Structure 1
Amino acid sequence: MALSARFVFLSLLLVLSVSISLAEIRSTEIRSDARPIIPFDEFGFTHTGRLELNVSGISLSNPNLDLSQVGFFLCTRDSWMRVLQQLEEGEVKCALRSDLVKPVYTFDKLKNAKGFSTVFSENDADQYTLVFANCFQNQLQVSMDVNSAMYNLDGKSGRRDYLSAGKTILPRVYFLFSLVYFALAGLWISVLYKKRLTVFRIHFFMLAVLLLKTVNLLCEAEDKSYIKRTGSAHGWDVLFYIFSFLKGITLFTLIVLIGTGWSFLKPYLQDKEKKVLMIVIPLQVVANIAQVVIDESGPFAQDWVTWKQVFLLVDVVCCCAVLFPIVWSIKNLREAARTDGKAAVNLMKLTLFRQYYIVVICYIYFTRVVVYALETITSYRYLWTSVVAAELATLAFYVFTGYKFKPEAHNPYFVIDDDEEEAAAEALKLEDEFEL
């Protein structure tokens, strides 16, 4: 039976979005589900790829149908696009009948059994998605317990590698970046000690952000390492989620506090600035909950797409919210430069906050848009490059923030001569004339 255009579009969206889920041993419960397409994990196979599929507790609402049109198959993204075209043009009535997919198991082989177990060898290196097809839309409801494991075999040792071909080096990548941040934390501690007379509370908060980022990367390295070897995180995913949550909250809070000039420019926050923090922190809680649901449930869950949309929406709102305090500070500094006689001081601060505003925008754009584009267009063998790009951008942002807002023994904000003030006032005058 041909799939409707709405379900075809939804299934395509699911298959193209599945790269965010983890590739590991996964147990899934499907209950009274009539969806025509249920995508499971996506995985990059080498020439020694294996899929172990164990399904039990199978219950069909109408077992008298042609069950050869119900079952599991593997399909690449490119092939799936062509399968959709075949379905729309009526060349095939069921995705399982297409010559572009690789059937793993169809339910006509059950012979009244309630489960099955099979091992499928994939020798064609590519990125595949495990999909369940039910070509009897709204006529057949399926319940079953699915246990799937996809892995590649090492050519020499024969060991199983449960990480996708493009992600198998991620444990080392995350570990190396954790060492870099650990070194940065040590360097920052030495700076705080040497210039302890000019250290503000915001500088200790920066240290906390660095340490949380270090631990977060270390936990992620261990998480991926255990998955690579065993197919399960063995509890490291819990620690990763905890420190990822803390790192996310502290980073966004730090951007807001720096943007408001708290601690090193003023010892207090205004009401509107406090409201931004009251918005950003709960949103980060929601974003982290959505991230956990996305990772742990996988795309087979009926509300997976909804949670993915929630995560993206909340992330965008957080990124926009942290920009407002910087804009307010720039506006206040511009007004102060014309009224308090400290034109050079305020011009210096104004320039700094403008630079920070631009850098924050670049950081958000790169990590949210450019990295996603890299992940989309990069071959599955090099998916690790998008992770490296994101971490390098984050590292550059941390270094810029620390360098620009480090404690100074002779703070230029408070020491200035008349010549500098006159030059700054003239610069402001020329700037106003240029804007006019």
Structure 2
Amino acid sequence: MAKLSLLSTVLLLLSLFFLTTAEIKTLTINADSRPMILFEKFGFTHTGHVTISVSSVSVSGSSSTSAPTPNPSRLGFFLLSEESLLQVLVEIQQNPNFCVLDSHYILRLFNFRDLSPPPLSGFNQSYPVTAPNEYSLFFANCAPETQVTMNVRTEVYNLDRDGSKDYLSAGLTQLPSMFFFYSLLYVAFVGIWIYVCVKNKKSVHRIHLLMAGLLLTKAFNLICAAEDKHFVKVTGTPHGWDVLFYLFQFLRVVLLFTVIVLIGTGWSFLKPFLQEREKKVLMIVIPLQVLANVASIVIGETGPFIKDWVTWNQVFLLVDIICCCAIIFPIVWSIRSLRETSKTDGKAARNLAKLTLFRQFYIVVIGYLYFTRIVVFALKTIAAYKYQWVSNAAEETASLVFYMVIFYMFRPVEENEYFVLDEEEEEAAEMALRDEEFEL
């Protein structure tokens, strides 16, 4: 039952999370008693290969009591597709003592009996994968009450037509070009935004400068992502570009949530200050984003083989949901404040225009969060492994559209269509506000 529970958890996690980087990995397994360890998930073409090197291997009992020497054939590495994973679950459900290494649905690579002499020395072997599919690389320990210690180096790749190695999964090999293309779009976006700000410098607020910083950070983030994926694709390692990627990713996310909160509170547009509750939202969102980015780095730089991988994923999801909910409150507060102000300050039309603006902003933010958290997740789940890049393209397109809409709505112009109204519009707005209050 423990094996069944573990495999069920692995199946769920494989559906929820995708290992976007198939680098050459070197790791150490120390006194690990888990019956299954997931190392990689990779989309192979018909020219796929997986190379595994193990050294410093030792198997010991997990308790102080003396245990019989485990059968080395009960410990080994194998590949498993998601379709076959369901069949393996059925086999284990029918027989809880069933060893996954005996399954007909796996692609066995080697077991510890192949080590010479078993199980003390090293092993280095490359295996071709001729059946195109997305496979997960597992290590299985079917010897009860044993702990395994070993150094493992994994290398998974596909061969291009010229014989060069492509270390990116079959569905992600387009990412370097795609990220570079979007980075060019954001560089052009930054140039246009600077032109608009210079042209209307009398209407530029501090928030517009912060928005320019957000665009610039997003552009650098995509450039680093493109370089990161390019070096992983060609060499199997990011050559330090992953550090810059995580840095700009952290800055971009913090700036994005900060800009949304500040615009949602009306800072620099409605008032030059923040209320205490609005400051508290920022004080909550920013530290949570720091935590979420730390979790993201742990996930990206280690992988599912670490024991706390599931916990880190849960932390990342929880923090992301909390941040998404937290940034909605300032927008709701601004809408409520505008509605209350419209009853007393005698500027019904201007307040109605601002109210309309912030309602549209609210809808755009909700739509963006829904699309990037729900629709993109659905695309990752249903898309074939060869088209995993589609979810990345959809997310980047949605982000670009979101930035364009928000930046257009709150652009620095001397005669903003929301705030310049004549007397006839003022009277019509008063009637509209009265009708709205009556409906409420």
Q: Given that residues 349 and 430 in structure 2 are in contact (C-alpha distance below 8 angstroms), is that contact kept between their aligned partners in structure 1?
A: yes
For residues 4-50 of structure 1, the C-alpha deviation after alignment (integer angstroms, 9 at most, x for no partner) is 44333233334444523521100111010010010111000000000
What's the secondary structure of 1:365's corresponding residue?
Answer: helix
CA contact (8 A) 1:16 1:77 kept: no
Which residue identity lines up with residue 240 of structure 1 in the other structure? F
Q: CA offsets, 1:303-337, max 9 Å, x none?
A: 00000000010011011111100000000000111
Distance change (3 Å), C-alpha of 1:71 and 1:14: farther
Q: Are the equivalent residues in 1 in contact too, given 2:19–2:40 (CA < 8 A)?
A: no
SS of the residue aligned with 1:339? coil
CA shift digits 1:244-264 (9 cap, x unpaired): 000000000000000011112
Whether contact under 8 Å (1:45, 1:164) holds in the other structure is yes
Q: CA deviation digits over 1:186-222, x for unaligned, max 9?
A: 0001101111111111111110000000000000000
* Aligned with 2:80 (options 46, 65, 75): 75
Of residues 225-234 and 61-70 in structure 1, the stretch that sits farther from structure 2 once superposed is: 61-70
Offset of 1:158 from its aligned partner?
A: 0.1
Find the aligned partners of 1:286 and 1:121 in 2 and give their Cα distance.
40
Q: What secondary structure sits across from 2:247 in the alignment?
A: helix
CA displacement at 1:431 relative to structure 2: 2.1
**What SS does the corresponding residue of 2:377 show, helix, strand or coil?**
helix
TM-score scaled to structure 1, two decimals? 0.96
Q: Find the aligned partners of 1:177 and 1:77 in 2 and give their Cα distance.
A: 32
- What code does the residue aligned with 2:158 have? N
The alpha-carbon distance between structure 1 residues 179 and 321, as it changes in their structure 2 partners (threshold 3 A), is same
Aligned to 1:119: 126
Tell me the distance in 2 between the aligned counterparts of 1:254 and 1:291. 21
Q: Is the 8 A contact 1:46 1:152 kept in 2?
A: yes
Alignment of 1:277-426 (within 5 A): 277-412=282-417, 415-426=420-431
Corresponding residue number in structure 2 for 1:28: 27
Structure 2, unpaired ranges of 5+: 62-67
Contact 2:253/2:289 (8 A) holds in 1: yes
Q: 1:131 aligns with which of 138, 147, 156?
A: 138
Task: Give the SS at the match of 1:42.
Answer: strand
Q: Distance in 2 between matches of 1:222 and 1:233?
A: 8
What's the TM-score, normalizing by structure 2? 0.96
* Counterpart for residue 222 of structure 1: 227
2:55 pairs with 1:61: no
1:270 equivalenced with 2:264 (yes/no): no
Aligned positions of 1:83-232 closer than 5 A = 83-90=88-95, 93-110=98-115, 111-112=117-118, 113-137=120-144, 139-155=145-161, 157-232=162-237
Distance 1:426 1:39 in 2: 64
Deviation of 1:338 after TM superposition, in Å, equals 1.2
Q: Which amino acid aligns with 2:323?
A: C
CA contact (8 A) 1:213 1:247 kept: yes
- For 2:177 and 2:323, the matched residues in 1 are separated by 30
Change (3 A) 1:97 1:18: farther
Partner of 2:11: 12
Which of 257-266 and 222-231 deviates more?
Answer: 257-266
Provide the rounded CA distance (Å) in 2 between the counterparts of 1:58 and 1:102: 22
C-alpha distance 359-122 of structure 1, shift in aligned 2 (>3 A):
same
Give percent identity, aligned residues only.
Answer: 52
The one-letter code matched in structure 2 to 1:182 is V
Match of 2:65 in 1: none
Q: 2:210·2:259 contact (CA, 8 Å) conserved in 1?
A: yes
Query: C-alpha distance in 2, partners of 1:242/1:95?
Result: 41
Of 235, 239, 243, the residue aligned with 2:240 is 235
Runs of 4 or more above 4 Å deviation: none
Q: Tell me the distance in 1 between the aligned counterparts of 2:76 and 2:299.
A: 24
CA distance in 2 between counterparts of 1:359 and 1:431 reads 22
- Other-structure match for 1:251: 256
CA 1:302–1:17 in 2, change beyond 3 Å: closer, same or farther?
A: farther
- Whether the aligned pair in 2 keeps the contact of 1:18 and 1:41 (CA below 8 Å) is no
Q: Alpha-carbon deviation of 1:84?
A: 1.0
The question of whether the paired residues in 2 share the 8 Å contact of 1:21 and 1:294 is answered with no
Distance 1:287 1:7 in 2: 25
Gaps of 5+ in 1: none
CA shift at 1:410, angstroms?
Answer: 1.8
| Whole-angstrom CA distance in 1 between matches of 2:197 and 2:13 | 49
The one-letter code sitting in structure 1 at the alignment partner of 2:6 is: F
Conserved? CA contact 1:21–1:298, under 8 Å: no
Residues 33 and 141 of structure 1 are in contact (CA less than 8 Å); yes or no, is this contact kept in structure 2? yes
Q: Secondary structure at the match of 2:342?
A: helix
Helix, strand or coil for the counterpart of 2:77? Answer: strand
Structure 1 CA distance, aligned partners of 2:150 and 2:362?
52
Residues 26 and 151, structure 2, Cα contact 8 Å, conserved in 1: yes
The RMSD of aligned alpha carbons is 1.4
Which deviations, in whole Å up to 9, do the C-alpha atoms of 1:369-412 show, x marking residues without a partner?
Answer: 11011001100000000000000100010000111000112245
Match of 1:262, SS state, is coil
Q: Helix, strand or coil: the match of 2:238?
A: coil
Distance 1:342 1:421 in 2: 7
SS at match of 2:28: strand
